[in-house]
Amino acid sequence: MKLQFVFISVWLQIVQASSTWHFYSNPEYKVMACKAGLESVATWCSEGSSKSYKCACTNEPELGSWLNCVYNQTTENDVFAAESQVIKYCDKVKATLTHDKLKDSYANATNYLIDVSKDESFNKTNPINYPITFNKKASKAYKGYYIGYKHRYDNVTTSHYLGIVSLSMWVALFAFASVLHWIGRLFPSSKKALTGSIIDNYRKFIALAPTFNKSHLQPVDKLWAHGYFPTRFESIVLIIHFIYTAVACSAIGFTYTKGDMVFKNYMAGTSRYYGDRSGIILSYQLPLLFLYAGRNNFLQWLTGWPYYRFVTFHMWLARIIMFQVLVHSLAFVAQSDALGKTHSRLQAHYYIYGIVSTVAGCLILPLALQPIRKFAYEIFLFVHIVLVVMFTWTAYLHAEYLHYGSFYWVCCGIWLFDRFVRLLRAFAFGIKTAKASFLVDEATIKLTVPCPNYMKPFPGSHVFVQFLTPTTFWQSHPFTIVSSTTDENQFYLYCKVKNGITKKLLQKFQATEGSEVNIKVLIEGFYGSESPYHHYDKAVLIAGGNGISGPFSHALKLATSEVSKTETKLFWQVRDYSVLNWLGEELMQLKNTKVYPIIYVSDPNSSIDSVHLKSSSFDNSDNDSCEKNSPGENIKDANYSHSFMMDKFGFIEFHQGRLNATEIVASEIRESAGSVAIGACGHPAMVDEVRVAVKNNLSGSNKRVEYFEEMQAW
């Protein structure tokens, strides 16, 4: 299904666009210019607009004059094509002509041709009933129209090509990335062999580096900038896209020619060229915006790139496209003014839709900035969707009038497809009753979610949860799963309490602390891709606080997998020992495995005595020493001693203080005999530190060092 969609979306776009795209040929320009040139020097019919071909096709004297011009301007090579164009135009006004009929009309007309420039009394506004010669005046008008049409429509053709090229550049990037990704996936050893100074330098300076020094996941909160810095690779892709688009939109390739009869002054012509150019190129790029924003974007699966990389592309592409929208709009403001059509165009619906669309589009950008997303994500999302619908709908009406509507159908199709797959996924999972326990001191909600056996969670995957309570059901929040080894038919979510929905739920159920509450949830998943740690000799998983879910699941899988020989270290930075209250039970599963957990406790006053976890699996795991305990009994109440707790968690190495990510990465890479995979999830500053440490420790080793960012933020 995904592959089919690749095909459909890319080709639909090009096919759709080109089906409404009229390709103008040189003979057609000649035919158009002949008709327009002659009508500017003489009149045959008293009624009818100058744009219509009715008179030229049905009035024998005008047809004769027109053909006289066409035959004069064409050569043997294009005369047939030109005749065909005449027939086509006449077909549209229901005048059926053939090549023979045209020749007859011309032959007859040659008997009556009159050179009106020799007639002093000739008045061009009074209709005449005879054919005229292609005199000097007519020839000059013809040339003016010919160059005018050629500039105008060649520019349209060029714009289509440039739009297609800009799309193809993205396709080429994805094709390249997909091939690399799938080779690495299907033949893991090939990737491990990719070492050496060229590759290390590429990874050090481009693939792994943040755009500037070290910020990638840490939001920048400066007066001049808010948001996330892309990685350097993403920046390069975006800069290339930007430069290409800027050049494509501004390098028109010809200059306004004096005597142009289509656009009678410089401003009217030039602004039209820029307006058409930017409008058409942006039409080709627009569907990418919708594609990148979708949760079910097939490109994630093809390239192995995480969702938030596409979100980054989505955001920056949107800015570039809105810039083109502005250029397009301003160009037509200037053109309307130069043509003296401002007033009449302001009465035209398509023009008004264009204005509304531009305004809606311009509002989207500031209202999607990171501070707004951070402080009021739900409001951002709602306003974003409303404005995008407004923008797309009005832009569609505007463009449809000008025969560019199909681009917007592609956008809608992509959006609807994503929503449809989301529905399918939610439907496949169904509404479940999750058990929630509220750990007030730890500010964490633990959800135990039953999982249908045909849905397979994988380490590092996340689901979107809708809590089906009357006030919260409409919000959809991502959380990373922790798989359960004891019961395959369920998984856990550890949700840190923040200021939105999580706080609301905590307040509502605070009183139930210690016991479990049933909450109906709608789950949409599983999203994300599984980082292949098992292909490496060593896995170093670094987590902070609630970021443990992904790394823990990976560790658990490596611990329980029989084939994997990966030596695994799980580093976890926490504030105090109380985290064992919510993850202690799960951590016990790592006892006596090849996974080595190391926990850094930063609060010096914290003591393992504060741990009072209640657990059943906990007791079963060490039967000798706690036979007396019935499952489910509270350990603290049962008066376990300090030394007992130390003993229980003896397989974990505890440190007081903060984890130094830079040092850990450096020493783990140094000490490893083979390939190393490093993964991180936690506080953005820590994750960025790991990224930079990995990049700085690349060179000079012949063992492949891989970095998997187990964290996403958008």
Ligand X SMILES: Cc1cc2nc3c(=O)[nH]c(=O)nc-3n(C[C@H](O)[C@H](O)[C@H](O)COP(=O)(O)OP(=O)(O)OC[C@H]3O[C@@H](n4cnc5c(N)ncnc54)[C@H](O)[C@@H]3O)c2cc1C
The site for ligand X (CB under 6 A) is made up of 373-374, 377, 462, 476-480, 494-496, 498-503, 546, 549, 712-714
Distance CA 709, CA 681 (A): 7
Distance CA 176, CA 194 (A): 16
Q: Find which of ligand NAG, ligand X, none residue 682 binds, CB within 5 to 8 Å per kind.
A: none
Nearer to ligand NAG by Cβ, of 96 and 641: the residue is 96
- Helix boundaries (H) for 124-265: 136-186, 188-192, 197-202, 232-250
Q: Find which of ligand NAG, ligand X, none residue 108 binds, CB within 5 to 8 Å per kind.
A: ligand NAG
Give the shortest CB-113-to-ligand NAG separation in angstroms.
9
| Alpha-carbon torsion (217, 178, 411, 20), positive or negative | positive
Give the shortest CB-346-to-ligand NAG separation in angstroms.
31
Q: Find which of ligand NAG, ligand X, none residue 265 binds, CB within 5 to 8 Å per kind.
A: none
The DSSP element (H or E) to which 446 belongs, if any, is strand 444-450
- Bridge partners, residue 432, by sequence: 521
| Alpha-carbon torsion (36, 41, 44, 50), positive or negative | positive
Nearer to ligand X by Cβ, of 82 and 495: the residue is 495
Distance of CA 222 to the CA centre of its chain: 26
DSSP calls for 357-405: HHHHHHHHTGGGSHHHHHH-HHHHHHHHHHHHHHHHHHHHHHHHHTT-T
Give the shortest CB-109-to-ligand NAG separation in angstroms.
6
Nearer to ligand NAG by Cβ, of 59 and 553: the residue is 59
Nearer to ligand X by Cβ, of 30 and 216: the residue is 216
Tokens standing for residue 332: 């037509």
State the residue for tokens 């045909």.
Answer: 454
Nearer to ligand X by Cβ, of 456 and 496: the residue is 496
Nearer to ligand X by Cβ, of 83 and 234: the residue is 234
Q: Find which of ligand NAG, ligand X, none residue 131 binds, CB within 5 to 8 Å per kind.
A: ligand NAG
Nearer to ligand X by Cβ, of 146 and 494: the residue is 494
Q: Are 216 and 691 in contact (CB under 8 A)?
A: yes
Q: What is the number of the residue whose Cβ is closest to ligand X?
A: 500
Nearer to ligand NAG by Cβ, of 77 and 486: the residue is 77
Q: Find which of ligand X, ligand NAG, none residue 109 binds, CB within 5 to 8 Å per kind.
A: ligand NAG
Q: Find which of ligand X, ligand NAG, none residue 130 binds, CB within 5 to 8 Å per kind.
A: ligand NAG
Give the shortest CB-265-to-ligand NAG separation in angstroms.
24
User: For residue 254, which phi and psi values (nearest 5 degrees)?
Assistant: -155, 165
Give the shortest CB-519-to-ligand X separation in angstroms.
15
Distance CA 554, CA 389 (A): 40
Long-range Cβ contacts of 407-410 (<8 Å, 24+ apart): 407/13, 407/16, 407/17, 407/283, 407/284, 407/286, 407/287, 408/286, 409/16, 410/9, 410/12, 410/13, 410/16, 410/287
Q: Are 166 and 245 in contact (CB under 8 A)?
A: yes
Give the shortest CB-549-to-ligand X separation in angstroms.
4
Give the shortest CB-387-to-ligand X separation in angstroms.
18
Give the shortest CB-54-to-ligand NAG separation in angstroms.
17
Q: Find which of ligand X, ligand NAG, none residue 652 binds, CB within 5 to 8 Å per kind.
A: none
Q: Find which of ligand NAG, ligand X, none residue 480 binds, CB within 5 to 8 Å per kind.
A: ligand X
Q: Helix count (H) and strand count (E) of the chain?
A: 25, 14
Three-class secondary structure of residue 543 per DSSP: strand
Give the shortest CB-105-to-ligand NAG separation in angstroms.
6
Give the shortest CB-714-to-ligand X separation in angstroms.
6
Nearer to ligand X by Cβ, of 706 and 710: the residue is 710
Q: Find which of ligand X, ligand NAG, none residue 275 binds, CB within 5 to 8 Å per kind.
A: none
**Identity (one letter) of the amino acid at 668?**
E
The DSSP element (H or E) to which 462 belongs, if any, is strand 462-467
Give the shortest CB-508-to-ligand X separation in angstroms.
13
Length of the chain: 714
Nearer to ligand X by Cβ, of 325 and 497: the residue is 497
Q: Find which of ligand NAG, ligand X, none residue 210 binds, CB within 5 to 8 Å per kind.
A: none
Asked if the bond preceding 491 is cis, omega within 30° of 0, the reply is no
The CB density around residue 612, as the number of other CB atoms within 10 Å, is 17
Q: Find which of ligand X, ligand NAG, none residue 546 binds, CB within 5 to 8 Å per kind.
A: ligand X
Nearer to ligand NAG by Cβ, of 123 and 634: the residue is 123
Nearer to ligand X by Cβ, of 450 and 500: the residue is 500
Which of 624, 542, 556, 540 is closest to 590 using CA atoms?
A: 556
∠ CA 39-40-44, nearest 5°, is 35
* Intra-chain end-to-end CA distance of the chain, in Å: 27
Q: Find which of ligand X, ligand NAG, none residue 312 binds, CB within 5 to 8 Å per kind.
A: none
Q: Find which of ligand X, ligand NAG, none residue 503 binds, CB within 5 to 8 Å per kind.
A: ligand X
Give the shortest CB-266-to-ligand X separation in angstroms.
49
State the residue for tokens 């045959």.
Answer: 44
Nearer to ligand X by Cβ, of 203 and 477: the residue is 477
Which stretches of the chain bind ligand NAG, using CB under 6 A?
60-61, 64, 72, 105, 108-109, 112, 123, 125-126, 130-131, 133-134
- Bridge partners, residue 448, by sequence: 435, 492
Give the shortest CB-294-to-ligand NAG separation in angstroms.
59
Beta-carbon contacts of residue 221 (< 8 Å; ≥ 6 apart): 371
